[in-house]
Amino acid sequence: MVDPATRSDHSFHIPVMGTGYTIDTALRVAKFGISSVVSLVDDVLIEQMRELHCNKAKEPYEEIAGRDEDSRARRITAYLDLMDGLVQRQVQALQASPFDADSDITRYFEMLPDTSLKRDYLDMAATTDPAEKARKQDELRPRAVPGTIDVNIMTKLDRDLYRHGEKLPPEFSDAMAALRGYANSTLTSAIVFSAGMNQRVYGYLALFPDFSPDENGFLKKKIILKVSDWRSAKIQGKFLAKRGLWISEYRIESGLNCGGHAFATNGLLMGPILGEFKDNRADLRESLHTIYNNARAAAGKPTVESPLDMRVTAQGGIGTAEENELLLQYYRLDSTGWATPFLLVPEVTTVDDIHLQKLLGATDHDVILSDASPLGLPFWTLRESSSEESRRQRIEDGKPGSKCPKGYLVSNTEFTDIPICYASRAYQKRKLEHLAEEGYSAIQLAVVTEEVLARACICHEVGGTALVKNNLDPDAKAAVCCGPNIVNFSKLASLQEMVGHIYGRLSLLTNPDRPHMFVRELAIYLDYLRKEFEKYSLELSTRAPKYFREFKENLFSGIEYYRSRAEQVIEDKRHRFLEDLRSLGETLERMTLVKPSSEECCDTLARS
């Protein structure tokens, strides 16, 4: 069954970036048919942005204070409803505007890819008879439909809340409240779940009617799962289908070649994963349809005759129109996600001027896969962001750790009954005191100390540029979560220029030596594996030798997959692609797992 909802002709979307970078992107791009994603992590920032945009739009604003009942959910609902209303007004104005050279409706159609709608527009533009031209314009106006205002919940960020030392019921946890806030909004869009399965959140979904289809099979609110491998997609899909919930989209993200948090697979590369989805998505859709209908029948709900729409999209490191077309055509994806390059498009994302300049000049040395996240996940960050500078300064001043102003990432109970954050001053002070008692060698102690001190206050500071840019807090520190792809773009662009780059009308690349996105991901995986080897050699890893063997085998298998398909999938610079694969394969061959004693480790690393 095809979703009857009207969908824009654009074949790309703008994924979530931090809590602040895409906080109001929808107000800038939705009217042009471009979908984007807003994070629901930081309801404090969301409330600040609601006040800001209410004032700009001359809408009434009544504060929802943090101490108010169910404030987190209500803040989210109010902000999403505001954006929904403002975008509807924008679209009405756009549809009514004249087809002048610089009007919004002209920009809308000019930015479209080569589709039947775009051809109808070009036909109108070429029409010389005034009456016929006006008739065609009137037919085009209602076809200028908006992009969706999608939202993201990172399922690992599900802090339980306490009041007067007592834990509140589960529905007041961060992720549950955020879900409720979205579910109660007026939006017709999708919720993106990332960071793996959260059973209580997924179970909570079934309580909200907007996630069930109407008599025409229309879903007012859809579910998107962000996944990094096929196995995760199947497991989560079946879990939700058994609860009478349909997954409308699998959003595949590169395990490491992305921005923000990275979720490394066990050496499974993006190309083979996309191939698995390509070969098996029809079977998955049919099998989930059966499970879904059985669950609905058991709950006394009407079944659906044909499977609902199930899209497959991908994101992570895409940099050229050729790569974009490869994903859409060879892997038959429904859309691609472009994030990091849009950080250099001021009319789309919220980046303050200082960090914009740092991004423009960023090199491979400046963008690192760090230990900054308190979640213990690899996190891409800009080395010279104000967040990182502030973190290093606190260490130098003998006061490491953050004050933890918001606490969305609290999870550690090593020293306290109520969870605290790994990046907090309270945790780092205690942990550093305990490290000396844990029997580490000198070099082991240095490594684990650096890991403790690397944690940054990202739950607050990934919204820092929005605070600075909008003059909400000019002194705020900002964590910049760009992906490694930023080094290939070093000039500002307009929305129209970036869209033109995506569709191959022009090129904004400024790095002529940029490797193919599949090669870049492979190289990042080799760097990641090398660091895991080093941890193992220092006896600081919990990984078993089997993990490393399987990791290498998967990488070798991925390299062979690319070699065998190079003739089919790589047109531009195929020789360079194959040569890069050969070189990285030889590097992988030379990587061996060694586990010397701690003293031998110290001697070896000291000599190096």
Q: Residue 165 has what pLDDT?
A: 82
Q: Which amino acid is at 235?
A: I
Give the separation between CA 319 and CA 312, rounded to whole angstroms: 19
pLDDT band at 605 (very low <50, low <70, confident <90, very high): very low
Q: 53, 299, 271, 23: which is closest to 152 by C-alpha?
A: 23
* pLDDT at site 270: 98
Q: Which residues pair with 379 in a beta bridge?
A: 261, 370
pLDDT at 455 over 80: yes
Residues 232-245, mean pLDDT to the nearest whole number: 96
With the C-alpha atoms ordered 117, 314, 307, 156, is the resulting torsion angle positive or negative? negative
Sign of CA dihedral 320, 325, 331, 333: positive
Kindly list the distances between the CA atom of residue 607 and the CA atoms of 495, 530, 537, in Å, as whole numbers in the listed order. Answer: 52, 19, 15
Radius of gyration for the chain, computed over Cα atoms and rounded to the nearest angstrom: 25
Could you give the CA distance from residue 569 to residue 285 in angstroms, rounded to a whole number? 26
What is the pLDDT at residue 607?
A: 36
Contact between residue 559 and residue 401 where contact means Cβ atoms under 8 Å apart = no
- Provide the whole-model pTM: 0.95
| Residue 430, CB-side half-sphere exposure with 13 Å CA sphere | 12
495 band by pLDDT with thresholds 50, 70 and 90: very high
Q: Mean per-residue pLDDT for 449-455?
A: 97
Closest to 257 measured CA to CA, from 326, 340, 327, 193: 340
Residue 163: which pLDDT band, with cuts at 50, 70 and 90? confident
Mean pLDDT value of segment 519-532: 98
Q: Which helix (DSSP H) or strand (DSSP E) does residue 226 occupy? A: strand 221-227
Is 601's pLDDT higher than 70? no
Distance CA 485, CA 316 (A): 9
Q: Catalogue the E-assigned strands of 254-384.
A: 311-315, 335-337, 367-370, 379-382
Angle in degrees, CA 128, 129, 132, rounded to 5: 115
d(CA 370, CA 347): 29
- Contact criterion met (CB below 8 Å) for 248 and 334: no
State the average pLDDT over residues 175-204.
Answer: 96
Q: Are β-strands 149-154 and 35-39 bridged in parallel, bridged antiparallel, or unpaired?
A: parallel
| Confidence category of residue 594, pLDDT binned at 50, 70, 90 | confident
Q: List pLDDT tens digits, range 323-347.
A: 999 999 999 999 999 999 999 999 9
Say what the alpha-carbon torsion angle 489, 495, 498, 502 is, to the nearest 10 degrees: 150
Helix (H/G/I), strand (E/B), else coil: 567: helix
Task: Please count the residues of the chain.
Answer: 608
Output the average pLDDT for the chain.
Answer: 95
pLDDT tens-place string over residues 349-392: 999 999 999 999 999 999 999 999 999 999 999 999 999 999 99
Residue 215 CB neighbours (<10 A): 7
| H/E stretch holding 234 | helix 230-241
Is there a contact between 331 and 278 (Cβ–Cβ < 8 Å)?
A: yes
**Contact (CB, 8 A) for 195 and 263:** yes
Q: What's the rounded mean pLDDT across residues 599-606?
A: 43
pLDDT of 599 above 50:
no
Residue 114 has a CB neighbour count (10 Å cut-off) of: 11
Q: What percent of the chain has pLDDT over 70?
A: 97
Tens-place pLDDT, residues 309-322: 999 999 999 999 99
What digits encode the pLDDT tens for the residues 74-83? 999 999 999 9
What is the pLDDT, as a whole number, of residue 55? 98
Structure tokens at 577: 């692609």
- Pairwise pLDDT comparison (164 vs 316), residue with the higher score: 316
What is the average per-residue pLDDT within 86-107? 97
